[in-house]
Amino acid sequence: MLGEIGLPENEIPTSLLFFNVGVEIGQLLFIGVLIAVGAVVVAVYRTVLRSPLRPALWQPVTAYLIGTVACYWTIERIASF
């Protein structure tokens, strides 16, 4: 495919390498942003409500949220067949 868009044959391995490195860097940055946002949310929650986060409350909510997204994706992929 890269040859069809006019990329010289000797440039294809380098292009693929840097494309993959760019994708990985983007994923790491995204995870870093999520961790930073999570830390800010926890700090604000503890400061405003002055109470520790209760895992017993958040674990079921998180599990149902993940399960809902997984069910949506499963149904979406089955429907595309």
The rounded percent of the chain whose pLDDT value lies above 90 is 47
41 with 72, same domain: the answer is no
Task: Say whether pTM exceeds 0.85.
Answer: no
48, 37 Cβ separation under 8 angstroms: no
Give the range of the structural domain holding residue 12, as residue numbers without chain letter: 1-50
Same domain for 38 and 24?
Answer: yes
Token couple for 19: 């494309």
pLDDT at 22: 94
Q: How far apart are CA 5 and CA 66, in angstroms?
A: 40
Tens digits of residue pLDDT in 20-57: 999 999 999 999 999 999 999 888 877 777 766 666 77
Asked whether residue 80 falls in the same domain as residue 58, the answer is yes
Q: Which residue in this structure is represented by tokens 């929650």?
A: 45
Domain count, the chain: 2
